[in-house]
């Protein structure tokens, strides 16, 4: 079964270009020129990944992102946001709202495909059945791709999960923002430090009563301990 990638972009040339490359890479592409069309689709189908343009004629990309994250069924779908250079500030906002990655136009389609693959790989359930316990409250089940706080399941975005996975791989070990970014995006350095803080803040909010287990070490980075 081919994985379905939803592409929401109002510029036909970009749609054509991205669709072509995604199809060549073996994905099924569903393209939408407006936010409304996409939301209608989302009511019936769940794509494996979403590529979302920020500036759409009808609905703001950020609004769409919020809607996706709000619904249980769609909350875990990886989202790559497309932004124009002039929308620099919106990138941080996009990540705050729950996008997993973003690309600034003009971008290389090769790079986009690489990120699509990386995000999908990260999102795939892992075969190992490894469970990590932090304190007596937080459980990270790497096999099921699940996080439990006090036995209750918490929905994280793929990026948040990946950060938690990294921090808990070495309890008490401090990871710098750069190391976290490396873990998230490989050698891609076109991301700003602040995005890590944004993801961590979200992660903390979501794990609620276990939030204190993630500690910020001033000027160095983050660690998890319990």
Where does this chain bind Ca ion (CB under 5 A)? 10, 53, 55
Closer CB to Ca ion, 80 or 156, in the complex: 80
Give the nearest residue (CB) to Ca ion.
55
Peptide bond into 157 cis (omega under 30): no
- The least CB distance from residue 126 to Ca ion, in Å, is 35
- The least CB distance from residue 46 to Ca ion, in Å, is 24
- The least CB distance from residue 56 to Ca ion, in Å, is 6
Report DSSP letters for the chain, one per residue: -PPEEEEE-S-HHHHHHHHHHHHHTT-EEEEESSHHHHHHHHTT---SEEEEES--SSS-HHHHHHHHHHSTTTTTS-EEEEEEGGGHHHHHHHHHHT-SEEEEES--HHHHHHHHHHHHHHHSPPS---EEEETTTEEEETTTTEEEETTEEE---HHHHHHHHHHHHSTTPPEEHHHHHHHHHTT---S-HHHHHHHHHHHHHHHGGGGGGEEEETTTEEEE--
Residue 134, classified by CB atoms within 10 Å of its CB into exposed (0-12), middle (13-18) or buried (19+), is buried
- The least CB distance from residue 31 to Ca ion, in Å, is 13
- The least CB distance from residue 206 to Ca ion, in Å, is 30
Closer CB to Ca ion, 10 or 63, in the complex: 10
Cβ 101 vs Cβ 93: under 8 Å: no
Count of positions (residues) in the chain: 226
Closer CB to Ca ion, 10 or 37, in the complex: 10
Closer CB to Ca ion, 53 or 165, in the complex: 53
- The least CB distance from residue 71 to Ca ion, in Å, is 23
Closer CB to Ca ion, 87 or 101, in the complex: 87
Closer CB to Ca ion, 36 or 55, in the complex: 55
Q: What CA–CA distance (Å, rounded) separates 202 from 187?
A: 24
Closer CB to Ca ion, 10 or 96, in the complex: 10
- The least CB distance from residue 64 to Ca ion, in Å, is 12
């Amino acid at each position: 079964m081919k994985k379905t990638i939803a592409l929401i972009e109002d510029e036909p040339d970009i749609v054509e270009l991205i669709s072509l490359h995604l199809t060549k890479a073996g994905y099924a592409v569903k393209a939408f020129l407006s936010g409304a069309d996409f939301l209608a689709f989302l009511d019936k189908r769940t794509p494996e990944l979403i590529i979302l343009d920020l500036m759409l004629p009808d609905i703001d990309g950020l609004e769409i992102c919020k809607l996706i994250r709000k619904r249980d069924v769609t909350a875990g779908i990886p989202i790559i946001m497309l932004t124009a250079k002039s929308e620099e500030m919106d990138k941080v906002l996009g990540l705050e709202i729950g996008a997993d990655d973003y690309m600034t136009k003009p971008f290389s389609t090769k790079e986009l495909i690489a990120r699509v693959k990386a995000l999908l790989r990260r999102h795939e359930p892992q075969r190992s059945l490894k469970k990590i316990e932090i304190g007596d409250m937080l459980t990270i089940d790497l096999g099921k791709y699940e996080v439990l706080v006090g036995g209750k399941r918490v929905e994280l975005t793929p990026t948040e999960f990946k950060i938690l996975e990294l921090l808990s791989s070495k309890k008490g070990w401090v990871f710098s923002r750069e190391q976290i970014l490396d873990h998230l995006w490989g050698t891609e350095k076109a991301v700003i430090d602040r995005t890590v803080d944004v993801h961590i803040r979200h992660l903390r909010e979501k794990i609620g009563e276990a939030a204190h287990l993630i500690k910020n070490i001033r000027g160095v980075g983050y660690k998890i301990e319990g």
